[in-house]
Every structure is written in structure tokens, then in C-alpha cells.
Amino acid sequence: MENLWAPWRSAYIGKPQSECIFCEKLNSSEDKENLVIYRGNETFIIMNLFPYNDGHLLIAPKRHVGDIEELSDTELLELTKMSQFMVQAIRLAFGNPQGFNIGINLGKVAGAGIPGHLHIHVVPRWEGDATFMAVIGDTRVISEALDRTYEKITGAVASLLKK
């Protein structure tokens, strides 16, 4: 049997979680520790703790809402604008990925890991990133530590905000 080491995940194993991980992170001021990238007026951006690829981000409304039909026009607009902004930031941070998956899973049966708090996934993609490990071994290989990815993305966000 092959071992795939991911020691940074040990901090999350067995840790009790609040009812909503997004609300917990949003209500904390420890953005770096919580991997919060940016806070807008209506939304915030956080890195996925268990990413599909390097740079996998989640964009969520600040308000605890689980369905797209419950969003205000202001929240919906900012979610879309933040998605656009984060594509620009990820392009800058990662040297222009070849594509992106951007989407929402509404409801547990649709794959929502946190069905009570709607969020948009932004996942950068590169040709060949779905290697044999994912197909044969049911394992993803993330090539960069989360703290390094955080620094790259927050640096790109700061650079774009200066323009």
C-alpha cells in the first residue's frame, strides 16, 4: 500500500465544528489561520481546506443562507463580481491556469458539503491535472501547501486592488 502524506490536515481531524463552518470563520478575526482571502460588503472568500486543485476557493454570502432563491439582488451581484475578481486573482497568482470550474452545489444530494450556507466553488484547472491518482487511486495530489497558496492568492488580490 502506498502512503500519501498530508500532515497539514492533522489540525482538522477530530476538531469539533460549529453548526456552520462559514459563519464560524466569518465571525473570527484570524483571517490567515482561517484561510479567509477577502471580505466584501455582502460576501467573503475562503480557501477550501480540502481542495480539488491548488487555488480552490469558496465564495459565500456573509448572511447564512442556503438557497440561491433566498439571496438578495445585492448578494447575488457581489457573488458574481467576486467570482470574476477571483478568476483574475488566480490567473495572476498561478500564471494563468488553462481553465476554471465555477459552480454551486445546492442541497446535500447535489453534493453540497455545507448545505445550509450557499457557496460558489472556483477551481483553477490545468491540462493533465486529473492524473491517474484521481482515476485509479481515488486520491488527489495537491502540489502546494495551503499556507503558500494563501500567500500567493492574497498577494494577487492586494496587487489587483491597487490598480
Q: Which helix (H) or strand (E) holds 44?
A: strand 43-47
Task: Please give the positions annotated as active site.
Answer: 119
Residue 60's identity, in one-letter code, is A
What gap in Å lies between CA 53 and CA 27, rounded to an integer? 26
Residue 139's identity, in one-letter code, is T
- What are the residues whose beta carbons fall under 8 Å from the beta carbon of 153, sequence distance 6 or more? 37, 47, 55, 57, 89, 90, 93
Cα distance from N-terminal residue to C-terminal residue, the chain:
50
- What are the residues whose beta carbons fall under 8 Å from the beta carbon of 80, sequence distance 6 or more? none
What gap in Å lies between CA 121 and CA 62, rounded to an integer? 15
What gap in Å lies between CA 141 and CA 113, rounded to an integer? 20
